[in-house]
Amino acid sequence: MILPFLKAMNIVVTGASSGLGAVFSGALVAKGTIVCGLARNLDKLNMLQKQLGKAFIPVMMDITDQKAIADWVKKTFSDTHFPNILINNAGVGYFNNIDELPLQHWHDMINTNLNGTFYITANIVPFMKRNNASCHIINIGSILGKTTRPDSAAYSATKYGIQGFSEALSKELSSYNIKVTCVNPGSIETHFFEQSGIEPHSNMLQPNDIAAFIIHILETPCNMLIDEVTLRPLQPKMKTVELQVPSSPVCYANSCEVRKEFRDEELFEVKFVPTPIKPNDKQN
């Protein structure tokens, strides 16, 4: 009989009160794990526990509070109760020109995305090192930790940081049987955009799909490491309309023009296909 791989594992998910973290928690509880969900908003965490049941343990925590994290890890885990998986998901993003970015937003991003990730990881790792079972740390980076946009200097600084943090940590911890994976998603349909200063778009990744993918990463065999993954939203498939456009024989040799157009709120790819003008046509 093959045992369910994740069953009964102890998992810590930061940023569990909304968005990706809440969806990860639901998917992991459904796999039979025990999830400690950390976030500042206890009401939201308690509401999630009502949906998911006792296997989801709400933990009111500001991950920028180093002492609170150290105290919680010390009182929660021991040499008879090890954490198996840590998902560093909590994060904030504000997008603005560098000379217009409020100082507080810079500090919030550095403190949450980088310092918070460091605090919890540094406190959990000693327990993972003493755990004989394989352990896994998943860091949620971003596509903006691989590339940038003009207003993302501060956010990208934190997510490029997560990328480097993950890569070095993976090298440091592999001999302890601790895997480290950095997941870099493009835009996802969550509350992230509400205060970010950038517009959401109609074609974002879905949190459920990311959660299913994270489960897949966690369930890979012990001897296989996925150290880095980038996930991008794809344009939806479009219907193509071809329009024949009369053109001279010279133009006919050129590639056809393609334009995207909304027609009755549906996106179409319109191909303007040149058709050669015959000498007779010209005379008419």
Ligand X SMILES: NC(=O)c1ccc[n+]([C@@H]2O[C@H](COP(=O)([O-])OP(=O)(O)OC[C@H]3O[C@@H](n4cnc5c(N)ncnc54)[C@H](OP(=O)(O)O)[C@@H]3O)[C@@H](O)[C@H]2O)c1
User: In the complex, which residues of this chain contact ligand X (CB under 6 A)?
Assistant: 14-15, 17-21, 38-41, 44, 61-64, 89-93, 112, 116, 140, 142, 185, 187-188, 190-192
Minimum CB distance to ligand X smaller for 89 or for 131: 89
Distance between CA atoms of residues 208 and 212, nearest Å: 6
- In the numeric block, which tokens belong to residue 241? 């309309």
* Shortest distance (Å) from residue 32 CB to ligand X: 23
Minimum CB distance to ligand X smaller for 10 or for 25: 25
* Shortest distance (Å) from residue 125 CB to ligand X: 19
CB 37 within 8 A of CB 58: yes
* Shortest distance (Å) from residue 226 CB to ligand X: 17
* Shortest distance (Å) from residue 248 CB to ligand X: 47
- In the numeric block, which tokens belong to residue 12? 């810590």
| DSSP code at position 145 | G
Minimum CB distance to ligand X smaller for 90 or for 169: 90
- In the numeric block, which tokens belong to residue 198? 């950038």
Minimum CB distance to ligand X smaller for 121 or for 187: 187
Contacts of 20 (CB under 8 A, 6+ apart): 89, 140, 188, 190, 207, 210, 211
Minimum CB distance to ligand X smaller for 78 or for 195: 195
Torsion of CA 60, 65, 67, 72, to 10 degrees: 20
Q: Which residues pair with 181 in a beta bridge?
A: 138
* Shortest distance (Å) from residue 75 CB to ligand X: 18
